[in-house]
Amino acid sequence: RIEITADFTPSASLMIATATLIVGIVREVMTWPSFELEMLERMGIPVIEGYRPMKHTSRKGWLARNDCYPRSPFQADIDETTWKTTDGREMSLRSVAGLIVKHFWHPIRRISDPWTFRLIGSVMRGRAPSLLDLDDRPPEYEDVGRLCTWDNLFPESELSRSRYERVLIRAISGQKLWMNGRRYTPTGMRGWSAVVFRADDDHSRHVFSIDYLLGHLSDWSLPKPRGG
């Protein structure tokens, strides 16, 4: 189990982009042959020199607070080239983030909707504001329910669902799945990683992972003819 916590921010679109980026990176790292720190160097992931994570105060894990860095990255100019990395380079925070995102570009894209993916790229290129560009404590922090609204980076009517969302929507709504000549009815979820089905012909129980079902989204769209 991996749990990553982040503070609330008043920009819904940036929060979604941040969560998408984190999930894409974490899922890819989970496929690495080792979780030793040497893998960062082997994979060419830049690490800020002097960064030292601290143990979580109440959970089994690690914290990345501002005092874990040589100086606070939250008060720095993200485009200022003053951050040394462990491989000897001197880079800006945006450049460090850009190289990391570039390495995980395809895993992030696999789980992202088109607008969020575009926003991530825009932030990395400096064409859209990042979380670090927000005011220290904007008024929206004081009343989450009323003041936190969607910004107008992308029209809400044009936001499309990610492939993962489409799988979950089909499963929760009970849409039947036609696959390999058989029809399946979703009956529940196994955590957030798998869907439980009942085969319509013999009522047998089947469990398919979300990742597996991504390849069968079209089989959920329209019923197939018998014998097809």
pLDDT at 109: 92
Q: pTM, whole model, 2 decimals?
A: 0.63
Strand segments (E) across the chain: 54-55, 62-63, 83-84, 90-91, 177-179, 182-190, 194-199, 205-209
CA distance 143 to 35: 40
pLDDT tens digit sequence for 72-115: 998 889 999 999 999 999 999 999 999 999 999 999 999 888 88
More confident residue, 222 or 96: 96
Return the domain boundaries, the chain.
Answer: 12-137, 163-220
What is the identity of the amino acid at 136? Answer: D
Task: Return the residue matching tokens 């922090």.
Answer: 141
